[in-house]
Amino acid sequence: FHLLMEGGALMIPLLLCSIILVYVFVERLLAIRKASVVDPSFMGRIKDQIESNNYAAATATCKAANNPLARVIEKGVSRIGKPLDYVEKSMENAGRLELYSMEKNLSVLTTIAGIAPIIGFLGTIAGMIILFFNVQHQGFSLETIAGGIYTKMVTSASGLIIGLLAYVSNAYLNAQINKQVNRIESASVEFLDFVQDIKH
């Protein structure tokens, strides 16, 4: 804690970056995990309801599930009876909106991954300028220089650590989102194949 305090004023924006990083990561992680909860029998029930022409029940089942996969399937159910290409396009658009929703605020992590190391380096450079200014006016002391350098390097180390954590967090969340996208695509293909078979 003492070392962090020695980092100077630029430790404040780095602290803000770290708080925002933790908040965004936890918030997105919880949202993505909530979106990933899907009843294994969901598609089976939808198929049964469509097969018996009970589209209202299928829509109600989707609304009750209230997750990205269910909302995409609901869009497909609402378009049954129209050309298959139109149904597929509607589901693609719904899937794109769900993807945007899951990716909300991830750009914040990308930004932090980029700016935190820069703020850290800026703090170190500013500290070195002040250090050499003091040496010029107060005289040379190896102990003073060594102490000044190691405390000013704290901002660089902090910036790099925060940037690395933001990068890893962003990559992890994107991997989780890709899993959900693959699941939605798989369910959409299954739904479209089923609708096509009914038409035939």
96-155 per-position pLDDT tens digit: 999 999 998 899 999 999 999 998 888 888 777 777 776 777 666 666 666 566 667 788
- pTM equals 0.82
3-state secondary structure of 80: strand
Query: Dihedral (C-alpha) 49, 55, 60, 65: value to the nearest 10 degrees?
Result: 60
Q: How many Å from the N-terminal Cα to the C-terminal Cα in the chain?
A: 71
Angle at which helix 142-199 crosses helix 84-102, to 10 degrees, equals: 160
Contacts of 72 (CB under 8 A, 6+ apart): 91, 94, 95, 98, 184, 187, 188
